[in-house]
Structure 1
Amino acid sequence: VLWSSPGEHRPLQSMCDQRYRGALLLFLAGGAHSAWVAGAVSGRSRHGVALAERGGSGGAGRGASLCMVQTVAPGATPGAGRAAAPSTDAEGPPLPLTAGERFALDEKTMSPAALARREEQLERSYELCREITAHYSKTFFMGTRLFPPDKARAVWAVYAWCRRTDDIVDKPRADRTSLRTELTEWQRRLTDVWEGKPYDLIDLALADTVRKFPALTITPFEDMIKGMVMDLDQNRFETFEELYVYCYRVAGTVGLMTMPIMGTADGYTEEDALEPALALGVALQLTNILRDVGEDRHRQRIYIPQEDLRRFGVSEQALIKGVRSDKYVALLKFQIERAREWYKRAEEGVNMLSQEARLPVRASLDMYSSILDKIEANQYDNFEKRAYTTKWEKLALLPGAWLKTRPK
């Protein structure tokens, strides 16, 4: 279903609109199974993807943002709704295999044509992940394009999973009960991915990434799901220590997810690079929090620690109303400085990474931290103005990022 506001249905041609492109990718990935046995396409979808457009709640002049929503049937299992496994019974053609069933097959038992079809579907899966990353996180995507192709594809697969996880929480719903059920089901699907049983076309790329990078562990993925559960139960954080746990789960985990993909330099281990990787995730999330204050206040969510509000004399009511007082500006300056301290911690780990990973990470760090500069340039108005860097500004940061990664 496509709509731009409750009750307002959009015509089919609006799916070509750029604003809907990212969510449409997920719909196409989950709505049909391409087959390799009979060369057919199964019309049976085992999950739906509802497409909604949320009214922009951030700064003035902002457009609406896409809400990419995945609907997971409680208790569903890969293959649910299927009459049987692929059959060779002469009474009828074999049922098309799902992405997971095809992925799990032993390559030694597959014909050259079947192998080629499976590779085609893997390519399509990675392409979907690439397009999702490009659509939903332009800054992050620009950094990933500096990776070698195999590592870039793996990072896109990880990002697509993270994006879908986040959108399970963000989608509109009447109550939170169904969300807990969906997150439980999402956890089960994650376990299946690690067992080589992807549920749908997008999961396929992550399952392939897990196979190609065996050092990947499921723990940070599980921790991110725990972070989504925190969003259900907590919309205030008393101390920075509480906020840190949240930042680790929803963003720091990404560093742990991607570390085995990036690799480390000679003389360093993943354990050496662990703390800087976590620091970068925390820095990115702190930046997101400061950038999105205007949007979050409309959802009655305050991520800035309560102890900091009291310290600077800013009341919740004033923040919710968007009062940009001198006290609020002082509070923001403190929060920006804290975020920059976490970026400095992250910088220490860039040269611990493999040579081919240093520039992408350094560029992403510089591009994202520049959002803090934009908040300052906007006179600390993150209620009505959304801080962002343009494509050309990001490109202008690349030479400096490259120089910072050169051996001294």
Structure 2
Amino acid sequence: MSTETTLSMDDRLIGAPAEYLTPAERPTLAAAQEWCRTLATTHYENFHVATWFLPKRIRPYFESIYAFSRVSDDLGDEVADTAVATRLLTSWRAMLDECYDQPERSRHPVFVALQQTTSETQAPKQLFADLIHAFQMDQTVTRYESLEQLVGYSHYSANPVGRLVLWVSGYRDEERAMLSDKVCTALQLINFWQDVVEDWERDRRYLPADTMARFGVTDATIAGKQFTPEYRAMMVYLVDYARTMLAEGAAISGTVDRELAVTLQLFSKGGFAAIDGIVAQGYDVLAKRPSVSKATKAKLLAGALAGKFLGLFSGGRQ
């Protein structure tokens, strides 16, 4: 990344991945924004594609939000020592407070870029704090007992991102925010259903215990990658649960301007495509991780492009 990451003596992120260390000197806003843009475009290609459909003036907002979320996640997930990860996340939360309360002291490129986002949009600090809270939860909670608990976790881990997207796009009402919550929670659940084996290998289980018990699935079933009729029945139920929630939330695209609608539809359709991937392999997520084919991704992109150009020729509004 373009911003130098020379470690200062008082750096609070000692123990973090080297690319996330705070530079010795505060970067310019342009350099900080470039740092966030590089992180976004090199770590998650779908984010880069989706933001292309947004008005150019608000793309830096999205990139700073993504960078904040990405670093927060990696401080929790990419640091093997739980105690170190917990300390880093606590420091990151203090740096968030500093960004809002003493912005002149911020030196990390994420918070230098985020300052423009928060000052120009008045984005609530609590939404960013909720994301950090989710990653702090990951350090101590590795099993979930019910779907309700998973939905509660998603309140912190996924929903703030959708609400921030709406907020910086000028939509502040709770009705749209609740639709966004459904989309974001559904996408989080779908990701869990895809990553059962990978999560298990990291000593995490996001399949709810009560649902497992209802269908006669045990931890041994997951550990042994035993795709039984009971496991299939459970996955059918869980996938249908997420599909219904996603379908309900997807209605949000009809309530926003066309440019934002194209981006929101891209994420919703991506979620449905991921579900289709699970179904296509007979719900057997234990044999291999379901994925969205390149052909499907191309089709989604083509549809989004059509929506983008339609918006341009119709004045950009639905």
- 1:238 correspondence with 2:141: no
Contiguous gaps of at least 5 residues in structure 2 = 312-316
Change in CA separation of 1:342 and 1:235 when aligned onto 2, cut-off 3 Å: same
User: Which runs of 5 or more structure 1 residues have no equivalent in the other structure?
Assistant: 1-24, 33-42, 52-67, 73-77, 80-96, 100-120
Give me the whole-angstrom Cα distance separating, in 2, the residues matched to 1:399 and 1:125. Answer: 32
| Letter aligned with residue 79 of structure 2 | P
2:139 alignment partner, SS class: helix
**What aligned pairs does 1:195-344 form with structure 2 within 5 A after superposition?**
195=101, 196-197=103-104, 198-214=106-122, 216-264=123-171, 270-344=173-247
Instruction: Describe the SS at the equivalent of 1:348.
Output: helix
Q: Deviation of residue 170 (structure 1)?
A: 0.9
- The answer on whether the counterparts of 2:15 and 2:84 sit within 8 Å (CA) in structure 1 is no
Q: CA deviation at 1:178?
A: 2.8
Matched, 1:354 2:240: no
CA contact (8 A) 2:64 2:114 kept: yes
Q: Contact 1:31–1:48 at 8 Å: present in 2 too?
A: no
Cα gap change, 1:135/1:292 in structure 2, threshold over 3 Å: closer, same or farther?
A: farther
Q: Is the 8 A contact 1:139 1:367 kept in 2?
A: no
Note if contact 1:263-1:354 (Cα within 8 Å) is conserved in structure 2.
Answer: no
Partners of 1:316 and 1:69 lie apart in 2 by 37
Deviations 1:158-211 (A, max 9, x none): 01100111111112334x333322222111100112232433123221112112
Counterpart of 2:253, as a letter, is V
Asked if structure 1 preserves the Cα contact closer than 8 Å seen for 2:212 and 2:234, the reply is yes
Matching residue within 147, 152, 164 for 2:59: 152
Q: Are residues 281 and 321 of structure 1, via their aligned partners in 2, closer, same or farther at CA, if it must alter by over 3 Å?
A: same
CA distance in 1, matches of 2:8, 2:21: 15
Alignment of 1:138-177 (within 5 A): 138-174=45-81, 176-177=82-83
2:103 is the counterpart of 1:186:
no
The percent of aligned pairs where both chains have the same amino acid is: 24
Cross-structure match for 2:286: 383
Per-residue deviation, residues 103-152 of structure 1 (Å, max 9, x unmatched)? xxxxxxxxxxxxxxxxxx33332232222222322223322211011222
Which residue pairs with 1:114 in the alignment? none
1:92-103 alignment, distance < 5 Å: 98-99=26-27
Residue pairs, 1:43-82, within 5 angstroms: 44=8, 46=11, 47=13, 51=17, 70=20
- Over residues 206-254 of structure 1, what are the superposed CA-to-partner deviations in whole Å (9 max), with x where a residue is unaligned? 112112212x100111111111122122111111111111111100111
Q: TM-score, normalised by structure 1?
A: 0.69
Larger strand share, 1 or 2: 1
Q: Cα 1:48–1:233, aligned 2, differ >3 Å: closer, same or farther?
A: closer
What is the match of residue 314 of structure 2? none
Alpha-carbon distance between aligned partners in 1 of 2:95 and 2:163, rounded to the nearest angstrom? 20
1:263–1:353 CA contact under 8 A, matched in 2: no
Taking structure 2 as the reference length, the TM-score comes to 0.87
Q: 2:16, 2:79 within 8 Å by CA — same for their partners in 1?
A: no
**Corresponding residue pairs, total:** 307
Query: Is the radius of gyration larger for structure 1 or structure 2?
Result: 1
Distance 1:49 1:231, change over 3 A: closer
Matches within 5 A, 1:10-21: none
Residues 272-326 of structure 1: CA distance to partner in whole angstroms, max 9, x if unpaired? 2110111111011011101111201112211011111011111111112211111
Distance 1:172 1:178 in 2: 7
Q: Which amino acid aligns with 1:306?
A: A
- Equivalent residue letter for 1:320: A
> Any idea what SS the aligned residue of 2:158 has?
helix
Shift of the 208–315 alpha-carbon distance from structure 1 to 2, 3 Å rule, reads: same
Structure 1 residue identity aligned to 2:93: Q
Cα deviation, residue 390, structure 1: 4.2
The structure richer in helix per residue is 2
1:131 aligns with 2:38: yes
> Is residue 33–residue 60 contact of structure 2 (8 Å, CA) maintained in 1?
yes
Which letter does structure 2 place at the counterpart of 1:194? Answer: Y
Change over 3 Å in CA distance of 1:30–1:184 after alignment to 2: farther
User: Aligned AA for 1:335?
Assistant: L
Supply the distance in 1 between the matched residues of 2:241 and 2:48 (Cα, whole angstroms).
25
